[in-house]
Chains A and B, each alone.
Chain A
Amino acid sequence: MKAGVRGNSLPPGCRLVASRTIGEQRIYHLQLENGLQLLVWEDSQSPVAAYQTWFRVGSGHEQPTRSGMAHLFEHLMFKETKKRKAGEFDRILETNGIETNAATSLDWTYYKENLPSQHLALVMELEADRMQNMILSQSQLDTERDVVKNERLLRVDNDPDGKTQEVMYHMHFGRHPYGHPTIGWMKDILAITLDDCLEFHRRYYAPDNALIAVCGDVQVQQVAALAHRYYGPIPRGTGAPQPRLRRHVPKGLYKQMALPVTMGKVQLLYEGPNAGHADTTVFRILSELLWGAESSLLREQLLHRQQLVTDVMAYHAPFRLAGAIEFQLNLAPDVTHETAFVALQQSLREFVAKGVTEKELEGAKNRVEMGYHRSLLPVGSRARGLGHWQTTLGDWRQLTQILQRLGGVTAQQCVSCVQRYLLDAKPTRIDVMPSGAEVAE
């Protein structure tokens, strides 16, 4: 059995917060004096590691009139530092076979490297460098703004589904922190200044607003020593303001949009449980029972039996401040939007009336279990799970407790959640019509 780490085997200024054993592997939660948190999942099965730097800042932290800042800044992080010229960061990583990328969401921004594990020190030195020594210039901002404008054209302005989703979140959340798009409104992207970027970096890119998730062929003492060396000297920030958790009351708004699509669609957004709410586990099961599997209720009813749609997709997104349950119904020819929507509601009512059998529940749990095991095979997915849960909820153990929580979900809970979140609520709804169709005002 592998020996665990003790507080006195860590470098000074680095403390062990918690640890947990999973099979023959171990996860450690450490913290430096400057507030930087480290999550280390040791696994020596393959000579690789995933290294991820998570910041507690996403588009939900922006003012609604300054949208797109977190995302544009993510692009700028790959530019220049006091030590390294523009482009050098990527070049050094790629020369060593290290893949790098980043992503911004509503609650967080993260930067990732997939590396051959012998390059851990190199990656930590480079990441610590850009956390504290970043340099920005107007020309870099201008070029990267053009790239982001193109990204917006690609993902939103020339993509009917992207466009609909942007409008739907805005209708649903209004002036709530989730009401503006992560990529930003085009006018806001154009208005971002160099000073905005510098202020954003100063406010949010500090060690006490960040955490490092490392998974793979590494030793916790090694990670701690390198963190102490490279990140230890970075001073704490001045405090990163976090948006308050507040009750959001959706108004059940409705809109029609004419877009260049071949077939009509119904897009729905219901308020769902947010991250950490006990009902999020129930929705993992419900996603299998209602829409995720070929034999799920809505695919069986709307797609196969009634043939009202050519596809039905849905997704539960448990963000930090609020949850969203999205549906997309792609209409079959000659089926009206209202017919499909009414059929969806009718199917959900029948689900509540009939209930869930023990066998259906067991099958759904089996599928979630399979998905969970499969998703945790690559080191990158595990690091992402640790980083996501710790950043969103301050509780990385959520990742390791999923199956345990799942076991406790009952058929009655499934029925109650459908009633409460989907039948008793009025969704935000957009009916997408093919261009040329008549759109009601």
Chain B
Amino acid sequence: MRQYHVLNQSMGFVATSWSFPAGSSLDPPGLEGLAHLSAELALRGTARKSREELARELEFLGCSPAVEVGVESAHFGFECPTRYLQQLADLLHEVFLEPTYDQEELARLKRQLFGEMAELKDNDSAASNLFFGQALYAGDPYGHPIRGYQKSVERISVDDIRAFRQAHYARHRLLLGVAGTCEQSEFNQRFETVLGHFPQGQAVELPALLPHAVDGLDVLLVTRPGRTQAQVTIGQRAVPGNSPYFTPLRLATVGFGGTFTAPLVREIREKRGWSYGVSASLLAGRRSGSFKMRFAPKNSDVLPAIKLSLKMLNALVQSGPTEKNLQFTKRFLVQQYPFLVETPLARLDQMLHIAATGKPADYLETYCERVQAVTVPSALEAVQTVLSPGRQTIVVLGDPSLERPLAKLAGVGRFRTLSVEWDQDVPR
């Protein structure tokens, strides 16, 4: 177990974060959605309490439990006024150590989940994200939807969930964060009945990620007839958080499209009015990361906007950021630093993110030095090593009429079309 604690005497409450490296990338083939269901079911009752009783008792304490499952981890958040901390500890003992695996509750949860999945597909931006993840990591456990597919979720049984929890919700895998009005010693004492009794679990071996094997641009058009505007995401796999290329690549990305005055935003939004939102971003996890450009132009501007952004990306990779641009980005990020740690909760979030993504332990303390150390040559080396403008994955969610122009885009290595309704688990 790794524990991080931020003490603040004036908050009057305590926020706790319980994370396990038990995200959707650990879903076994054919059981996509298992990590998500396992986490959600954890709050649907215990051996002693029904779902409704558990919810009532947690919520009486002022707690609004949060469950969040990502590709790499499953996270639970609980908070309450300090006066109720012991009651929270008693309830979390039941949640984590006295689980129930109720068939009826699982069936109900699945029905709600199917509704959520449909709702997600109805939203263009969310659906676009979903398809981009699948296209970027096609065939790899990193790629399937976190909630799984309808068919795979239907297959998941309480026994699958029991086995998943026993393997992954273990003491040595727990990342615990606490912030608020409570000393660490007092917290550990109150939560001894939880922390001292977590199962030990076993080591989990992670298979290597499958390579993205398309030579040239990998274009996927996700069709939704009648749309007058498209959601465009262009990107590729990048580096995990502990890579030496991460910081220089982040500076190059922020300088390229991470602020209102960055070149990508200036060219697409300010000069041409092609899209309301425009951004370039770099995400990094423990095992992988991604570089993305996103915008949403009307149909007639989709192709010009894609061509322009690819041209600009190519220029970035050829020459790297300019000295002026890099200095601007450094100043922006360094001066922004106080906001990263503005509140106890923000500081704790940073500490947990650093631990979860495998960044160096002193990353937060040395953040400004790391940013300042980036040079044009180091940024150029990072973009040239990591980014490949000619091998970007491009996902466009929009009207089927976009098919012809997109298929003719120069440099396409693979072009596919799927309906937004598509939802099936593909045999590996």
Interface residues of A (CB under 8 A from B): 23, 46-48, 78, 87, 90-91, 94-100, 114, 116, 119, 142-151, 153-154, 157-161, 260-263, 293-295, 300, 303-304, 307, 309-311, 330, 332, 359, 362-363, 366-367, 369-371, 373-374, 377-379
Partner of B59, one of A46, A98, A295: A295
Contact A373 B13 (CB under 8 A): yes
Closest chain-A Cβ to B345's Cβ sits at a distance in Å of: 6
Contact B115 A311 (CB under 8 A): yes
Per-residue contact bits, chain B 4-47, to A (CB 8 Å; 1 contact, 0 not): 00000011110100000000000000000000000000010000
Contact call B13/A370, Cβ cutoff below 8 A: yes
Interface centre among A159, A261, A374 (most CB of B within 10 A): A374
Q: List 30 A-B contacts (CB under 8 A).
A: A46-B342, A48-B338, A87-B266, A90-B261, A94-B328, A94-B332, A95-B332, A96-B331, A99-B339, A100-B260, A142-B273, A144-B273, A146-B273, A147-B269, A147-B273, A149-B273, A150-B229, A150-B276, A153-B229, A154-B277, A260-B225, A293-B59, A311-B119, A366-B80, A369-B62, A373-B12, A373-B13, A374-B345, A377-B345, A378-B343
Could you tell me which residues of chain B, from 333 to 366, have a CB within 8 Å of some CB in chain A? Answer: 333-339, 341-346
Additional 10 contacts, C-beta under 8 A, given A46-B342, A153-B228: A97-B332, A119-B335, A153-B296, A154-B229, A160-B122, A260-B122, A300-B52, A307-B108, A332-B111, A367-B62
Q: Which 10 A-B pairs have CB atoms at the shortest separation, nearest pair first?
A: A310-B115, A97-B335, A146-B273, A366-B62, A363-B60, A262-B118, A151-B276, A370-B62, A295-B55, A153-B229
Asked if B171 is at the interface of the complex by the 8 Å CB criterion, the answer is no
Partner of A97, one of B123, B225, B334: B334
Q: How large is the interface on B (under 10, 10 to 19, 20 to 34, 35 or more residues)?
A: 35 or more
Q: Which chain B residues border A148 with CB–CB below 8 Å?
A: 276
Which of B224, B225, B270 has its CB near the most chain A CB atoms (within 10 A)?
Answer: B270
Beta-carbon contact of A370 and B80 below 8 Å: yes
Contact A304 B52 (CB under 8 A): yes
On chain B, the residues within 8 Å of A87 by CB distance are: 261, 266, 270
**Residue in chain A with minimal CB distance to B260:** A90
Contact partner, B121, options A23, A90, A94, A262, Cβ 8 Å:
A262
The proximity string for B residues 75-87 relative to A, scoring 1 for CB distances below 8 Å and 0 otherwise, is 0000111001000
Give the tally of cross-chain contacts (CB within 8 A). Answer: 175
* Contact, CB under 8 Å: A116 / B112: no
A355 to B328, alpha carbons, bound, how many Å? 60
- Would B335 and A150 count as touching, CB distance under 8 A? no
Cα–Cα, bound, A235→B71 (Å): 56
B350 to chain A, nearest CB (A): 13
B246 interface contact, C-beta 8 A: no
A158 and B228: CB pair below 8 A? yes
Decide: A97 near B331, CB < 8 A? Known: A46-B338, A377-B344.
yes
State whether A367 and B276 are in contact (beta carbons under 8 Å apart), knowing that A311-B119, A374-B13, A378-B343 are contacts in the complex.
no
A293 near B55 (CB under 8 angstroms)? yes
Q: How many angstroms from the CA of A169 to the CA of B129 in the assembled complex? A: 30
Closest to B11 in A: A373
For A295, the chain B residues whose CB sits under 8 A away are 52, 55-56, 59
The residue of chain B having its C-beta at the shortest distance from the C-beta of A305 within the complex is B52
Residue of A nearest to B421 (CB): A262
Known: A147-B269, A378-B343. A294 touches B261 (CB 8 A): no
| Cα separation A367 to B80 with both chains bound (whole Å) | 8
Chain B residues, CB < 8 A from A332: 111, 115
Whether A370 and B122, one on each chain, are in contact in the complex, defined by CB atoms closer than 8 angstroms, is: no
Measured CA separation A160–B121 after assembly (Å): 12
Decide: A143 and B271 in contact? CB cutoff 8 A: yes
Are B260 and A366 touching (Cβ within 8 A)?
Answer: no
**Is B51 part of the binding interface, using a Cβ–Cβ cutoff of 8 Å?**
yes
Q: In the bound complex, do residue A143 and residue B124 qualify as a contact, i.e. CB atoms below 8 Å apart?
A: no
B56 A304 Cβ-Cβ under 8 A: no
Q: B341 near A46 (CB under 8 angstroms)? A: yes
- Kindly provide the distance from the CB of B390 to the nearest chain A CB, expressed in whole angstroms: 28
B116 in the interface (beta carbon within 8 A)? yes
Chain A residues near B60: list those with CB within 8 A: 359, 362-363, 366
Q: Is B226 among interface residues, defined by CB-CB distance under 8 A?
A: yes
A150 CB contact (under 8 Å) in B64, B266, B274 = B274
Residues of B within 8 A of A149 (CB): 273, 298
B114 contacts the other chain (CB 8 A): yes
